Amino acid sequence: MQGSRDRAPTEVINSIRDLGIAMGHDTGEALLDTHPEFFAYQAALTRVFAQMVHAQDVAEIRQMLDQDIKGPTSFGQIAAGKTDIGVLSSKDAYKRLDEVFDHVDFNDCRRAVMVGCGGRPFTMFRIHDQTTVPEIVGLDIVPEAVETANRLAAKLGYSRLRAELRDGCDYDYSGAQVVYVASMVSPKAAVVSRIADTAPDDVQIVLWEPYSLGRLWAESAERTLDPRLEITGRTSISRNMTRDVFVRRRPAAMHGHSR
């Protein structure tokens, strides 16, 4: 079949996603709990999903960088609104964050950190558009993603935002009041523990978590959450079998915490 090599990752992930939707999210969760052998495919499916995301990044970033923009512009105005690849389009991903702003208080936030910002850092861009946070920092371990994120930020006139080539596992979160951890970050649990090690007592943490069969290609941190932290809320589950999970430090864990 012509082009099957390009379509194969999409077909694999979308077929599993469609199955998960058909069976229901709770049934999918129960299936994985009772059949952990399915996780033998996790590494391969993670690679396939990463290929899908990369293809989406390449296509949309080119489209956005090629646009003729006069003056500061909202990412929401130039983001692609549809995709045939099976990954959330930039516009859908930007819109998906509506519920996050119902749960997270950015009023006293001086620095927001996005772990795993990627080349299309729509979460950072949404924070820039909707808040007055003076410092929005994206972390990624892929040089191309960092370079592209900064190029897009410069094109949009986002002066309060920057991406850095840094690993979230050894970053110092002491200046951050809000930390958002992306879906594909790995090892996610270790990053969350590092946040607990170094962030202020009142840090607000948001985890973009997989649910149901989505756990076959993205790590879940909430199931092995650092005992110093507790879950305070969750958004609704999306068609992509993901949701945002809101985490804070347990009150007992604040005593003796130096920061």
- Asked whether residue 7 is assigned to any structural domain, the reply reads no
Cis, bond preceding 187 (omega within 30 deg of 0): yes
Range of the domain at 86: 42-249
- Asked whether residue 5 is assigned to any structural domain, the reply reads no
d(CA 52, CA 35): 26
**Cβ atoms 138, 171 nearer than 8 A:** no
Q: Is the dihedral of CA 14, 20, 22, 25 positive or negative?
A: negative
Tally the residues of the chain.
259
Is it the case that residue 103 has pLDDT exceeding 60? yes
Q: Which amino acid is at 102?
A: D
DSSP, residue by residue, 87-128: SPPHHHHHHHGGGHHHH---TT-SEEEEET--SS-HHHHHHH
Mean pLDDT of all residues in 6-11 = 69
- Asked whether residue 1 is assigned to any structural domain, the reply reads no
Is it the case that residue 194 has pLDDT exceeding 70? yes
- Asked whether residue 24 is assigned to any structural domain, the reply reads no
Q: pLDDT: is 7 or 151 the higher one?
A: 151
- Asked whether residue 198 is assigned to any structural domain, the reply reads yes
* Helix or strand run (H / E) with residue 194: helix 188-198
Best CA proximity match to 118, nearest among 91, 89, 143, 81: 143
* Residues in CB range of 203: below 8 A, 6 or more apart: 173, 176, 177, 178, 179, 195, 248, 249
pLDDT of residue 107: 95
pLDDT of residue 80: 60
Confidence of residue 1 (pLDDT cuts 50, 70, 90): very low
- Asked whether residue 167 is assigned to any structural domain, the reply reads yes
Work out how many domains the chain is built from and give that number.
1
**Cβ atoms 207, 218 nearer than 8 A:** no
Query: For all residues of the chain together, what is the average pLDDT?
Result: 89
Q: Is the dihedral of CA 115, 119, 120, 125 positive or negative?
A: positive
- Asked whether residue 189 is assigned to any structural domain, the reply reads yes
Instruction: Provide the CATH number for the domain around residue 160.
Output: 3.40.50.150
Pairing of strands 204-210, 242-249: antiparallel
pLDDT of residue 3: 40
Pairing of strands 229-234, 161-165: unpaired
pLDDT of residue 2: 39
pLDDT of residue 65: 80
pLDDT digits (tens, 9 = 90+) for 138-182: 999 999 999 999 999 998 889 999 999 999 999 999 999 999 999
Best CA proximity match to 197, nearest among 228, 231, 166, 230: 228
pTM above threshold 0.85? yes
- Asked whether residue 28 is assigned to any structural domain, the reply reads no
Pairing of strands 111-115, 135-140: parallel
